[in-house]
Structure formats: structure tokens, C-alpha cells
Structure 1
Amino acid sequence: MPDIPFGFSLPGAQPPDPSDPQQMQQFMAQLQQMFAAPGSGPVNWDLARQVAASQLSASGDPAVNMHERHQVEEALRLADLWLDPVCALPSGIHKAVAWNRNEWIYNTLDVWKKLCEPIAGRMVGAMGDLVPEEARAQLGPMQSMVATLGGALFGGQLGQAFGQLAAEVLSAGDIGLPLGPAGTAALVPANIKAYGEGLELPEDQVRLYVALREAAHQRLFGHVPWLRAHVLNAVEAYANGITVNREAIEEAMSRVDPTDPESMQAMALEGIFTPEDTPQQKAGLARLETALALVEGWVGHVVDDAAGDRLPSVAALGEAFRRRRAAGGPAEQTFAALVGLELRPRRLREAGALWTAVTEQRGFQGRDGLWDHPDLLPTDEDFANPEVFARGQSDWDISELEGLESNPEPGADEPGPEDTDKK
């Protein structure tokens, strides 16, 4: 597929011959149509979907057959049965589905919009401010293209990242965020098969282990009412503190001639974000990393406990998943470069050890009771002394807990993306 500006591909586009005025005119018309998509906002989401779909079409997106759907439903049903004796939270699965890669993108896009648009808005605004007023007047019919250059640029490169992520993720909750619709447990059979082949482990064991993780995620986010808002707000708060490196944008835009599509290939998003060193931003990052680590650590601990002696490859699978989440895959690294945010929990092993210590001291009922309120959860400092934290929690007085429950975390009752859509 031929390349077009920004390093992504426009389906059906042919490389224009600069010496052929008709070809160049048609190509410019395609670009203008792409940039002028109505209602695109700071991110051209239509373009993002188009680019992701085009990338998946090139790399392959196997359809889910009836046999695979049945395997996914049975794996999730069995996973819930295994979790019941080791988890105080009941099943959170209202719907068990198998997605292909495009369906993963479609069903998670609403949450990605919430996470990406604040950063994209600042980047697009900074680009617009750098275009001199006299230059805008001289652009004539190309003005609309330049005005939406940032949105198209961000949409195209986000589409690439989504296409890569969709080819790697194993389930709806695979990267630790509540991306899918509430109550919908989803596995991606094509990716599970490929991942199992890479580990040289039986596909049915890998599928069941992924199903256990997905079912555990659904229990946690389905029955801890404040958690979805807590995690998404932590991501959004950190994203809102990221600043744009205006010098990097200015340097990149200086190489762009709006009348020359090839010059736009010089634009790149990586490196345009400047980490903020303020105490507020550092606190926001610590809050986000702690939240991701606690969620992932709890899921890993509960799943390994549930699998126990039932799953022969549980030890190998548990270690493989911890390494996978701690390191992050190529697609997560691409996303981090685009929006300045890493989604991997940095202290996953420490969080797992902490949940193990709490379970030993208080049992799984006491462990899961810590999710009753965010103020009951371990802090970043507690990771260093899990035994001290585990013993100390037994001193909580019931009146203190009732006081916390009467003052829930701000935003905990706010509707999630799914609830907003229903309205």
C-alpha cells in the first residue's frame, strides 16, 4: 500500500506523479477531504478508525467462527466458577463475547477518546498558534487543510497505534484500563492463539488463563463502584498536566509546505510532549502508577490463587504475564510516544506481594474488603512494607470505615462512558 503524509496509508490512494497536474489535483482533493472531515475536533477519529482498519486489513484480522465463540464462552464460564471460592466479589460478567481485532477497536474507542482528546487539543492548539496571521490569509483554499492538520496528524498516528494494539491485546481488560462496555467480558481468539504459540504452551490453557484475568477484571470494576472513575480520572489528570513542546512543533512545522504533500511527511508526533516537573504532576503520576499496579497486582494474585493446581502451566503463564505487563509491548510503547503516557504498572511484583501478605493476614474477604473505599487501599509507601500494612489493616475500626463510606471519592458516582452514551 502506498505511503501518504504522516507515515500512514490512505486506502485507495495512489502515489501522484508530480509532473501530472491532474494526478496532483486529485491527490490534493483527497487530502483536503480527509482534513476537512466534519466534527473531527482535535482528533480526526474517522481517520483514526480508517487507518487502523487499513492496517489490520494488511496484517490480517481473522473472523471469529462459532467454535471459537463457544470456546470463549466456556472459558469465561469456567473462569468465574474457579474465582468464586477465592474472591469475595461476585461475578461481574453480564455478557461473554469473542471479538476480532476490529471489534476490539470499535468497542474501546469511546474510552480512548476520553483519554486522548485533552492532549490532542493542546497539541492542535499549539500548532494553530504558530501559523502567522498573514500566512493564514495567503493560504486561500488550503486554509481549512492547515487548520485541521494537527487533528489529521494525531488521528492518523493514533490509528496506527490502535491497529498495533488490536493485533496484540488478548482481552478487553488486557492493559489494565476499563476500556470496554461495563459487564462485557471479551477475548480476542486470534491474538490468544498467536500469544500461546509464542510461549509454546497449549492454546486451551492460555485461553483459560486469559479468561481468568478478564473475569477478575470484570469482578473488580463491576463491583467496586468508584474504581472506574478513579482509574480513568487518574489517567486524565496526569494527561491534563502534560505540556506541549512548542519548539519541537515549530521546528517540525517549519519543514511543512501546505502546497507540497510530500513535505508533510517530515511531521512526527514523537517527542513533542514535555514532562512536567511540578509537585502536582508528580503526584498525579504516582497516583496513576499506584492505581494500575494495585489493580494488576490484585488480578494476578487472585488468578494464580484460583488456578492453583488446576492449570498445569499456571506458573509459566503467571510469570509470562507479569513480564509482559511490566515491560509493555511495541504497541504500548508507540502509544506512550504519541500521548506521553505509559500504561504499564511499574511496581507490579511489589503489588502482588502486598496482596499476598494481606490475604495471609486477613483472608480473601478482608483483602477484597479493602476495595470498599479508596482510602483503605495501600499507598505507594506501603509497597515497601507489605507485612506491616497487612497487619495494620486489622486495626481499622468499623466507625472509621462508616465515616469513609459517607464521604466517597469525588467523581466516584459520575457516569462512565457507557452510561453517558445511554443518556
Structure 2
Amino acid sequence: MTESHDRPDEPEEPGLPPELEQVLRGLTGGAELDPQMVEMMKGMGLADVDPQMLQMVAGQVQAMFAGADDSGSVDVTVATDIARKTVAAEGDPSIAAAASADARQAVDVANLWLDAVTDLDHSGLVGRAWSRAEWVEATMPVWRELVDPIAVGVGDAMGAAMTKQLGEMGESGLPEGMVPPGTNPAAMMGQMAPMLRRMQGSMFSVQLGQAVGALAGEVLTGSEVSIPLVPAPDVVLMPQAVAAFAAGLEIDEPQARLHLAVRESARTRLFHAVPWLASQVLAAVRDYARDTTIDTDAIEEGLRSIDPTDAEAMQQALAGRLFAPQQSPAQKAALSRLETLLALVEGWVDVVTAAAVAPHLPQAEALGEAVRRRRASGGPAEKTFAALVGLELRPRRLRDAANLFAALEASGGADARDAAWAHPDVAPQAADLDDPLGYVERQRTPTGGDDFDAELDAFLRGDSGEGTTGPADEGPRTS
């Protein structure tokens, strides 16, 4: 009550509503709220918000920030929840028993056909039919691992840009009552940095959830994007998307299902049988993300025209402005590795699938071309993801890679084609996609050289053939 004596015209100086205090304490690790922060919140009018409305908002905010931490990392729980809501809004029926049986049967048939054209191991692979929500649940941990470095970088850059912006504006540049008189806004922003990092991490989590949810509505199979999102033994088909794909092409759905089952089974075999491949693909994505440069000038420009307390306005203002236009040398190297690996994976899958389905599916050629066009154009969800992380997950040189594997097969059969995956040191590189015939020739040369060396050694040892006399029996030669 002492405050009423100090300020007769204000009988009582209440604090923030308990619901809001609880939210803010949750964001600051349970610590007591800084008095300046309380004054700022009250200056924004939050103390006068309708209690019922505030309680509802508080519940939503608490749920959003429940798993966030001060690093600004992606909250996989929030991202998954948003992705599930995204797919539910578009319609995501549960998988019927008949669809599951169709998927298992299609993958079983696909593996029989693939056995005739490749010896890569497929032991234990099982066909699955997943809903979009199941795909989201299974793949989100991998997405989180790939984009987390960007989320942290964006959070740090946002905090720095907002602190600089508020410092330049000064107290006079803010709405009246937003900060206590005599307070340095930039200093207050520094005190709020942990909360802001949590907010930015949660905003990024929402964006990731929206992107993955949209992608879930487009993918035909579990790892269609060429990244090992679904590990063996699961070979996943998305029945709703497969049906729409077949209808759009006016092609018999069972044929489309079998063709896609062969592609996904081949892709899963490859990641399963080549132990270094999946780790190198994921490492290339992480290396690209880790060296992403955040365009702080663009962020500052976006923040100049908005209220820094309006999260939705911040998100809209920063859309498309997060990443520096120029890639770093490390990013260029990582991107080159990634594009080459994605092209090689899909090029090999193309060649092997064509060989496996040609004797069995009358519309195999049309289906193969439709898949290639689909990958070349990219869908809206893929563009959304590119805007989020600054990276397009698309094999740009798919045809070059397919030509390379076809040339290997023409030269030395399926064994020569598949031997390219034996070790990362012998796998094709970006330059080899420019000269596939040169790569084929180089792969043939070591074998011939080894045979020649073996024959020469045998000749010099005198055991090149029974009953023959080699140079060792002739004594020294003189010239």
C-alpha cells in the first residue's frame, strides 16, 4: 500500500496479470521479472488486456514455448504439431488395411524385379503405407537436425539487428510509455535476449512445421526428396498422393504404384547397401546450413518499418530476406557435393528402375518421364523449404548422372554400374558428370593395369605357364 502514498492520484500500482507473469517467467527460466521489463510490458498496454482473452493467449504461448531453449534451436515438438495441423487441414485420412496390403505387395513385387537387375542387398525391406501425419512424425527429427544451425544463426542475427535498431531509435523513437523514462532501449533488449532467442526459435519452428507439412502433402514416397529421411527396412508409399499422381497422368493406379514402389525400393536399397552414402548426403546439407550467412542488413531494413513487438509483422517483413545473396566458398563446396550426390542417387535409381520395370509395365516409359519432369520442376512445398533454409533439394544434373550409369552398364554390365558405389574415393564427382565416357574409361583402366601387372610378375617369376622357360632360366643378358 506504500505505493498509494507515493502516488496519491494512482491508489494502487498493480503488476502484470498473473497469467502474463507466468508466461514471461517461463520464457526466462523461472527467474523474477526485471522491473524495467515489467514497466515496458505495462507501457504496451498488456496489463489492461481482458483476463479471459489473456488466459487463452497465455495458454497458447506457453504451449508454443514449452520446449524452447535460449539457444534459439528448433523445437521439434512445436514443428511437428504445426506440420500435423497443416496436413490435417488439407485432409489426411487414416490408412485402410487394403492400402497397407497393396503397399506391401507392391514392394515385394518391386524387390523381385530389382533382384534381376542389381545385386545390392535388400534383405529385410518391408513395404509400408503411411498417412501424411505418419510421414511428418517419422521424418521431422531429420529435418530438425538439418535446419537447426540456420535457426540458431537467424536467432542470433535477429537479436543483434533488433538491439542495433532500438539503439538507433532511442527512447524518443518508441511509442510513449513503451519503456520507462531514462531507459536505454538497446540495454533493455540485451536483458531480453534469452527470451527473444526463444521467440525466434519458436517462430522458426512454426515455419519449419509449415514447410514440412506442405511437403508431406506432395511426396509420393518416403524418401522421394533423395535424402535418407526414412531408414531401412521401411519402404514407404503415400497412398493418397499415389492415387492423385496416377489420376493426373490418366494411368492405371496399380501400375503407378508398382513403378513408384520400384523407385523407392531401389533408393532404399542404395542407402541401405552403401554405408557411406547417407552420412555424406546429410553431412553436405549440414555443412551448407552451418556456413549460412545471415543477411543482417536486410533484416535491419525489414525491422525499420515494423513494430518490433509484432511477431507476425516481423515474420512477414523478413520473408525472403534472411540469407545473404552470395554463398560462401564453404557453402559452394557443400552445395556442389550435395547436388552431385543427389543427382547420382536419382540417376542410378532412374537407370535401375527402367531396367526393372521395362519387361513388366506397359506404361513404364510414360511413368519414368513423368517422375523426371516432376523432379525437374519442383513443387510449391519445395520452394517453401528453399525459402526457409536457402537450399533447393533437387538433383539438377539427374540426366547427366543417368547417362553416366547407363554408360557404365553398357561398358561392363550391372556389376560395373553398381561398383561405382563401392567407396567414396571411386564414386563419380561433379567433373565426371561433364565427361561420363572419360569416367567409364578411367574405371576400366585400373582393371586392365592390374591384369597386366599380374601377368608380368608371373612372367618374371618364370611361372607364366607349365613347361616354359622364363628369363630366370636363361642367365644374365648383355646388351
- TM-score category of the 2 structures, normalised to the smaller one: 0.7 to 0.9
Shift in Å at residue 43 of structure 1?
1.5
Deviations 1:376-411 (A, max 9, x none): 1222222222223223311124999xxxxxxxxxxx
Shift in Å at residue 167 of structure 1?
0.5
Q: Report what 1:250 is aligned to.
A: 300
Shift in Å at residue 230 of structure 1?
1.1
- Is the aligned partner of 1:359 residue 2:390? no
Shift in Å at residue 37 of structure 1?
1.9
TM-score, length basis structure 1? 0.84
The answer to which structure, 1 or 2, has the higher relative contact order (CA under 8 A, 6+ apart) is: 1
Larger Rg computed on CA atoms: 2
Aligned letter for 1:322? Answer: R
Aligned letter for 2:55? Answer: Q
Tell whether the 8 Å contact from 1:35 to 1:148 is kept in structure 2 after alignment: no
Equivalent runs, 1:262-281 vs 2, <5 Å:
263-264=313-314, 266-281=316-331
Q: Taking structure 1 as reference, are residues 375 and 138 closer, same or farther at Cα in structure 2, changes over 3 Å only?
A: closer
TM-score, length basis structure 2? 0.74
1:375 counterpart SS class: coil
- Is the aligned partner of 1:319 residue 2:369? yes
Question: Residues of 1 paired with 2:430 and 2:310: CA distance?
Answer: 51
Give the stretch that moved more between structures: 70-79 or 376-385.
Answer: 376-385
1:148 counterpart SS class: helix
Q: Report what 1:304 is aligned to.
A: 354
Q: Report what 2:289 is aligned to.
A: 239
* Alignment RMSD: 2.6
Q: Report what 1:211 is aligned to.
A: 261
- Is the aligned partner of 1:377 residue 2:377? no
Question: Residues of 1 paired with 2:427 and 2:127: CA distance?
Answer: 30
- Aligned identity (percent) is 43
Deviations 1:234-268 (A, max 9, x none): 11112222210112222333455465566445444
Aligned letter for 2:340? Answer: T
Aligned letter for 1:129? Answer: A
1:192 to 234, 239, 242: 242
- Is the aligned partner of 1:179 residue 2:210? no
2:94 to 51, 58, 63: 63
Tell whether the 8 Å contact from 1:34 to 1:152 is kept in structure 2 after alignment: no
Question: Residues of 1 paired with 2:187 and 2:65: CA distance?
Answer: 18
Shift in Å at residue 150 of structure 1?
1.1
Q: Report what 2:218 is aligned to.
A: 168
Shift in Å at residue 309 of structure 1?
2.6
Question: Residues of 2 paired with 1:60 and 1:39: CA distance?
Answer: 29
Q: Report what 1:421 is aligned to.
A: none
Q: Where do 5+ consecutive residues of structure 1 fail to align?
A: 1-18, 401-423
Q: Report what 2:474 is aligned to.
A: none
Question: Residues of 1 paired with 2:433 and 2:218: CA distance?
Answer: 30
Tell whether the 8 Å contact from 1:293 to 1:351 is kept in structure 2 after alignment: yes
1:47 to 78, 83, 87: 78
Q: Where do 5+ consecutive residues of structure 2 fail to align?
A: 1-47, 168-183, 451-479
Question: Residues of 1 paired with 2:304 and 2:189: CA distance?
Answer: 15
- Is the aligned partner of 1:226 residue 2:226? no
Give the stretch that moved more between structures: 158-167 or 124-133.
Answer: 124-133
Tell whether the 8 Å contact from 1:296 to 1:348 is kept in structure 2 after alignment: yes
